[in-house]
Chains A and B, each alone.
Chain A
Amino acid sequence: MKNYFKKLCLVFAVCFVFVTLLAGCSGTKEPTGGSEKDDASDTQKETEQVEEVVYKLGYFSNQYDSTYQKAIENIEKAIPGVKMELVFYPTDKDYWDNLPAHIAAGTAPDLAAMTNEKHMDFISNGLILPIDESLVDLSALYPKAVDAWKYDGKLYGIPLTAQPEAFIINMDMWEEAGLTDLPETLEDVKEAARVLTKGDVKGLCINNHEFHLTQYALAFGGGWGYGETIDTPENARAIQFLIDMYREGLAVTPKEVGLGWDGEVFAKGLCAMTTGGTWYVATLAEMAPDMNYKMIPLPKGDTYGSTLHSLAIVVLKTAKDPDVASKIAAYLVRDEVQEVAMNDAGAPPSSIAMSNAYFENNPIVKDLKPVLDYAQPFAYPKEGQKFTEALIKEFDEAIYTKDSTKTGADIVRNVQELFK
């Protein structure tokens, strides 16, 4: 009998441990215990809030923390029954890597703040839902930013920003090197880089990232054409220009000097010129507040080129109620939110009126306003991730392999092979 009692105890103990383990593994947050009075009070509160549904907004880049905090303010009053929470992804890599899996698992937020770089992957796979255009006054927004979020005639995101690309020059280095006129062509950039390259400081920073390569492709009259026009002489010339700059020792990549991105290289004075965007304003204010720099449109190769970078609020497939989520998206891009994005993150608003004011009131970016007129979408193929992996891999091989003979033409041809 004693033996059976022992076994029984053992069974209970094992079951307890097992159940505890399983409970520990589960993600459900149960309310913690309390007195009966507390329980009664909680029940009453729950009854009062029973109709309130929590919607979540996912985003990356802590430059936009205050923007999204502002965005979700007073949402309960604007859309009754809705409560908002923010879900922060530490890096853009985390964001693009994890969001699809989160959507597939049904654990993704309801809405997301997304840029128009790899959004085609999401749209073509039905991970982003179309938004009812009547919810927002699109005529007040920059048309190219709206177009960047349209596909097959449907609107997939409400733009919060409309950012042109920029070419940034360290004017202290520029003047110290005895240079006067700013570069007008990419050949001027190369000539200037020869003068500016001294020891560990290089003339140009080339971040081997699809964003930066695309700027040069557009400046040579090329572009990816959603995968249709990768293998073109224009794109080949653009890539070759960058390869030559690197092979001649006039350029540096962030990784080569142990840094994460071009902004850090520029802020630390390891290069004199770089491609970037208006986000440099906030970065340089923090990392190099005393630097004398200038932002101009990317000098032309065969033509002027730039991408239109637009951050938008999109409704994900995981949205609890897509119609409500669409209304939330419209609320999150209101003018006062764009103002915070403009002031805190240095992001040009998508609102035409506010955009004009932004460029007029910020001397450092005023030269970039005309860029918005010729800025184009990124136009990566639908399988954006596959494209960028292939492009960067080929480009890295050309610049990081000693004595590589790989040319720009080889690169665009090899990448095009994957998208026939």
Chain B
Amino acid sequence: MGQIVKTLTRNRRSEEITAYLFLLPVAVLWFIWFLIPTAYSMFISLYKYSFVAVSQNHFVGLGNYIRVLKDPDFYKALKNTLFLTFVAVPAQSLIAFLLAIALNLRIKFRDVFRTIYYVPYVVSTIAVTTVFMYLFVKGSPLTRLFSLFGLDNVTWYVDFKLALPFITIVYVWQQIGFYIVIFLSGLQTVPRELYESSEVDGASPFQRTIYITVPMLKPVIFMVLVYGMIHALQVFDQVAAVAQNQPLGSPAGATSTLVSFFYVQSFKNWEMGYGSAIAVIIFAIIFIFTMIQKKFIGNEE
């Protein structure tokens, strides 16, 4: 008996060592490339810190944080980011969900459609945004179409009111493919017997979706929402593409997001300490959102 226990313990320890050995490279890289920069960023957020005038750097305590909280441009960026997040995340989740259901049906060229929907996600964001910019130039078929619904026939990405919706459209269009894949993998796990039984009971396709698919996919839906929100809170590429040679967030800060605001302060204005304070605040915001959602997931489970 004692020998068996000894062998089991030895095997278990051996497995643990093997596991740690496999984890080691990633852990070391994570430590070097993530933990140290994060800690250093938090450290310099307490300094007036410029990477070009190192001799003038000095400790300012929470000064940078107070400055961020008093900066109207920060609130503008926060407002834009929240708008984008609360519009884009539900929109992309709903569209991806519906398309995933459609692509889960036994239709012709199903695999072709799956590929087509996924392609935008792997294409460069700058390229996608640039193409959309051509589509939304004043006088294009799309802007003319929208003008029939009461919108001005203007270049969307230079219009103060339409620039952010433009970014949101580009963002949603590009993200959908990824979430379709997530939903499709979730749909594969729903037992077919449930649908067959409900069909026998006379449930319509709509009822089957609402009463079977949605409840069964709840963990996937929450995952999509959490991941979508974390990602949306960090939008940058589309903003940079729209800005072209103009200041980031153009026109006039209408597309400024938290990350673009951080970038401008850190790398354009060379105020790394102030930028780091913004980065820490962005981290805190994402952390809070994630915790709130995690609480919901916990409750659901």
Does A100 count as interface, using CB distance less than 8 angstroms? yes
Does B191 count as interface, using CB distance less than 8 angstroms? no
Does A40 count as interface, using CB distance less than 8 angstroms? no
Does A140 count as interface, using CB distance less than 8 angstroms? no
Does A10 count as interface, using CB distance less than 8 angstroms? yes
A18 lies within 8 A of B18 (CB)? no
Q: Chain A 14-33, CB within 8 Å of chain B: the 1/0 string?
A: 10011001000000000000
Does A104 count as interface, using CB distance less than 8 angstroms? yes
A255 lies within 8 A of B14 (CB)? no
Q: How many residues of B contact A (CB 8 A)?
A: 41
B21 lies within 8 A of A11 (CB)? yes
Does A35 count as interface, using CB distance less than 8 angstroms? no
Q: Closest Cβ of chain A: how far from B93's Cβ, in Å?
A: 31
In the bound assembly, the distance between CA atoms of A14 and B161 in angstroms comes to: 54
Does A388 count as interface, using CB distance less than 8 angstroms? yes
Known: A10-B18, A11-B21, A396-B250. A91 touches B264 (CB 8 A): no
Q: Which of B110-118, B177-185, B240-248 contacts A (4 or more CB under 8 A)?
A: B240-248
B residues less than 8 Å from A143 (CB atoms): none
A18 lies within 8 A of B28 (CB)? yes
A400 lies within 8 A of B53 (CB)? no
Does A253 count as interface, using CB distance less than 8 angstroms? yes
In the bound assembly, the distance between CA atoms of A306 and B51 in angstroms comes to: 34
Q: Chain B 224-261, CB within 8 Å of chain A: the 1/0 string?
A: 00000000000000000000111101111110000000
B29 lies within 8 A of A388 (CB)? no
Contact of B245 among A10, A256, A260, A401 (CB under 8 A): A260
In the bound assembly, the distance between CA atoms of A208 and B250 in angstroms comes to: 11
A402 lies within 8 A of B247 (CB)? no
B residues less than 8 Å from A155 (CB atoms): none
B21 lies within 8 A of A393 (CB)? no
Contact of A100 among B17, B137, B139, B270 (CB under 8 A): B270
B264 lies within 8 A of A402 (CB)? no
| 77-102 of chain A: CB within 8 A of chain B | 91-93, 97, 100-101
A253 lies within 8 A of B158 (CB)? yes
Does B43 count as interface, using CB distance less than 8 angstroms? no
In the bound assembly, the distance between CA atoms of A258 and B138 in angstroms comes to: 9
Greatest chain A CB density within 10 A among B138, B249, B252, B254 is at: B252
Known: A7-B17, A400-B251. A392 touches B246 (CB 8 A): yes
Contact of A397 among B22, B160, B264, B270 (CB under 8 A): B160
In the bound assembly, the distance between CA atoms of A388 and B247 in angstroms comes to: 8
A21 lies within 8 A of B25 (CB)? yes
Does B134 count as interface, using CB distance less than 8 angstroms? yes
In the bound assembly, the distance between CA atoms of A125 and B52 in angstroms comes to: 6
In the bound assembly, the distance between CA atoms of A289 and B291 in angstroms comes to: 61
Known: A14-B22, A200-B139. A402 touches B159 (CB 8 A): yes
Name the prevailing secondary structure of the A interface residues: helix
B residues less than 8 Å from A392 (CB atoms): 246-247, 250
B residues less than 8 Å from A91 (CB atoms): 245
Does B67 count as interface, using CB distance less than 8 angstroms? no
Q: Closest Cβ of chain B: how far from A399's Cβ, in Å?
A: 8
B residues less than 8 Å from A17 (CB atoms): 25
Q: Closest Cβ of chain A: how far from B6's Cβ, in Å?
A: 14
Does B126 count as interface, using CB distance less than 8 angstroms? no
B residues less than 8 Å from A388 (CB atoms): 247
Nearest A-chain residue to B14, judged by Cβ: A3
B residues less than 8 Å from A209 (CB atoms): 245-246
A residues less than 8 Å from B25 (CB atoms): 14, 17-18, 21
In the bound assembly, the distance between CA atoms of A392 and B249 in angstroms comes to: 11
Known: A253-B158, A389-B264. A258 touches B52 (CB 8 A): no
B residues less than 8 Å from A100 (CB atoms): 51-52, 270
Nearest A-chain residue to B18, judged by Cβ: A10
Does A386 count as interface, using CB distance less than 8 angstroms? yes
A residues less than 8 Å from B58 (CB atoms): none
A393 lies within 8 A of B245 (CB)? no
Does B133 count as interface, using CB distance less than 8 angstroms? yes
A125 lies within 8 A of B53 (CB)? yes
Does A261 count as interface, using CB distance less than 8 angstroms? yes
Does B267 count as interface, using CB distance less than 8 angstroms? yes
Nearest A-chain residue to B139, judged by Cβ: A200
In the bound assembly, the distance between CA atoms of A116 and B66 in angstroms comes to: 35
Does A257 count as interface, using CB distance less than 8 angstroms? yes
Q: Which 3 A-B pairs have the closest CB atoms?
A: A397-B252, A396-B252, A401-B160
**Residues of A participating in the B interface, judged by any CB pair closer than 8 Å:** 3, 7, 10-11, 14, 17-18, 21, 91-93, 97, 100-101, 103-104, 121, 125-127, 200, 208-209, 253, 255-258, 260-261, 383, 385-386, 388-389, 392-394, 396-397, 400-402, 404
27 sampled A-B residue pairs with Cβ under 8 A: A3-B14, A7-B14, A14-B25, A92-B245, A93-B245, A100-B52, A100-B270, A101-B51, A104-B51, A104-B52, A125-B270, A126-B52, A200-B139, A255-B244, A256-B138, A260-B244, A385-B268, A389-B269, A392-B250, A393-B252, A393-B253, A394-B252, A396-B246, A397-B160, A397-B251, A401-B161, A401-B252
**Residues of B participating in the A interface, judged by any CB pair closer than 8 Å:** 14, 17-18, 21-22, 24-25, 28-29, 50-54, 133-134, 137-139, 152, 155, 157-161, 244-247, 249-254, 264, 267-270
20 additional contacts (CB under 8 A) given A100-B51, A104-B51, A125-B52: A3-B14, A10-B21, A14-B21, A14-B24, A18-B24, A91-B245, A93-B245, A101-B51, A209-B246, A255-B155, A261-B245, A385-B269, A385-B270, A393-B253, A396-B250, A396-B251, A397-B252, A400-B160, A400-B251, A400-B254
